[in-house]
């Protein structure tokens, strides 16, 4: 799994107004979720690409397209300022893998990547 967000800009949800209302110091918060069924903990700190810009590709040679991460089994690559998101999948990709890469296109990232030993 890999997200190569070449032009990443952090999406930080400022809670300035809320903090004014409750009188607490200004703070910022990044949305998180997980761990999911594959053990990933996600942070929404990337650019969300509109679904119209998602492009699905199936390839026999994942390394050719996802080679930045040596053990990647699939990947999502976002274009400049969220103009598109290319999802590269192996033949017969399981549903969770597709959903995983789609989540990257929605601006979510996670630390670490799936190891080959984790795949069945
Ligand atoms: Zn991933």
Q: What is the pLDDT of residues 42-95, one digit of tens each?
A: 999 888 999 999 999 999 999 999 988 778 899 999 988 889 999 999 999 999
CA of 19 to the centre of ligand 1 (A): 33
Going by the DSSP 8-state scheme, the letter that residue 51 receives in this structure is G
Q: So what's the pLDDT on residue 113?
A: 53
Residues with CB under 5 A from ligand 1 (ion): 1
pLDDT higher than threshold 60 for residue 20: no
Rounded mean pLDDT of the chain? 78
Q: So what's the pLDDT on residue 69?
A: 78
Q: So what's the pLDDT on residue 25?
A: 54
The structure's pTM equals: 0.69
CA of 23 to the centre of ligand 1 (A): 38
Beta carbons within 8 Å of 113's beta carbon, 6+ residues apart:
1, 2, 69, 71, 72
């Amino acid at each position: 799994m890999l997200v190569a967000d070449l032009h990443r800009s952090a999406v930080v949800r400022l809670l300035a107004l809320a903090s004014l209302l409750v009188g607490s110091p200004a703070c910022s918060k990044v949305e998180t979720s997980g761990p999911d069924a594959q053990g990933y903990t996600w942070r929404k700190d990337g650019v969300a690409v509109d679904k119209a810009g998602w492009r699905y590709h199936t390839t026999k040679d994942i390394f050719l397209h996802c080679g930045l991460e040596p053990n990647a089994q699939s990947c999502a690559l976002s274009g400049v300022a969220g103009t598109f998101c290319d999802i590269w999948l192996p033949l017969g990709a399981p549903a969770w893998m597709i959903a995983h890469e789609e989540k990257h296109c929605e601006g979510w990232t996670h630390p670490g990547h799936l190891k080959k030993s984790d795949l069945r």
